């Protein structure tokens, strides 16, 4: 495809990435009869638009595992807010709650009940920033090196920090869910989440429907350790049935 205009060339590359294909700069340069510098400019522009993740020699398609928290928060915002409102109704006054890093929990931070004298702990910079100006609650930020993909701190120091807390209610992030339990995309994140499950009195998770199709390689917890799962109002019955049979409490959000 020689002499392809830059924008048209970029659209072709974006289409391949959207279909889940990785791209190699050298091969694209040969295909389009342009320099590798031109292709790198294309990939840089696509990455700036959130359409790919640049790696040495090319780019990878964007997946939930590779999207930043800021990017994930823009996907299905209204649906996440509906889940957040359903979860917020379960919070009791004067609880110490933990909001695990995640875009749905960022939505939950925006609808936490007021004047409940809550203590809110989180390992997420975005969630911490969103709650910083709330005068009616106490904020505890779990620190350490920040994992940019997780959007928070999940290293050994963070694990040690949360084990010192008496958590009444934990909203734990899950990258995927099945009858076997909840899972995560990253090993360190899964280790951090397992620590949260072990020390929390009540543990729940908020699940957008797309997570039922995902597959996280690192197991976090079996369903028996999750008190309730908040699901979307139109989550398919055949998807929810195995979870119900496993004994987990399912709470459906209001329609968007």
Summarised one tens digit per residue, pLDDT across range 195-253 is 999 999 999 999 988 788 777 889 999 999 999 999 999 999 988 998 988 888 999 99
Give the CA angle between residues 79, 67, 151 to the nearest 5°.
90
pLDDT of residue 51: 77
* 2: pLDDT strictly greater than 60: no
| Region of poorest pLDDT, from 8-22, 51-65, 99-113 | 51-65
Is CATH 3.20.190.10 correct for 71-252? no
147-183 tens-digit pLDDT: 877 889 999 999 999 999 999 999 999 988 988 899 9
pTM above 0.85, yes or no: no
Query: 6-61: what CATH class?
Result: mainly alpha
pLDDT of residue 63: 62
Domain layout of the chain by residue ranges: 6-61, 71-252
Across residues 36-54, what is the average pLDDT? Answer: 87
Cα 31 from Cα 29, distance rounded (Å): 6
Q: Are strands 152-153 and 146-147 parallel, antiparallel or unpaired?
A: antiparallel
More confident residue, 5 or 152: 152
pLDDT of residue 88: 98
């Amino acid at each position: 495809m020689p002499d392809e205009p830059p924008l048209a060339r970029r659209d072709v590359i974006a289409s391949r990435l959207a279909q889940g294909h990785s791209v190699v700069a050298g091969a694209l340069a040969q295909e389009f009869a342009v320099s590798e510098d031109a292709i790198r400019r294309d990939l840089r522009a696509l990455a700036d638009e959130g359409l790919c993740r640049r790696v040495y020699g090319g780019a990878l398609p964007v997946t939930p595992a590779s999207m930043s928290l800021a990017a994930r928060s823009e996907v299905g915002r209204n649906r996440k807010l509906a889940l957040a409102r359903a979860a917020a109704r379960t919070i009791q006054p004067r609880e110490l709650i933990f909001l695990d890093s995640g875009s749905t929990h960022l939505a939950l931070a925006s609808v936490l009940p007021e004047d409940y004298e809550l203590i809110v702990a989180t390992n997420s910079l975005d969630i911490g920033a969103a709650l910083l100006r709330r005068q009616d609650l106490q904020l505890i930020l779990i620190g350490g090196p920040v994992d940019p993909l997780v959007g928070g701190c999940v290293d050994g120091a963070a694990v040690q920090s949360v084990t010192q807390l008496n958590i009444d209610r934990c909203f734990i992030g899950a990258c995927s869910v099945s009858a076997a339990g909840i899972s995560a995309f990253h090993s360190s994140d899964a280790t951090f989440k397992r620590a949260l499950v072990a020390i929390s009195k009540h543990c729940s998770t908020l699940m957008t429907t797309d997570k039922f199709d995902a597959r996280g390689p690192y197991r976090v917890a079996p369903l028996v350790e999750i008190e309730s799962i908040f699901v979307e109002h139109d989550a398919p019955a055949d998807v929810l049935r195995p979870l119900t049979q496993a004994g987990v409490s399912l709470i459906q959000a209001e329609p968007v």
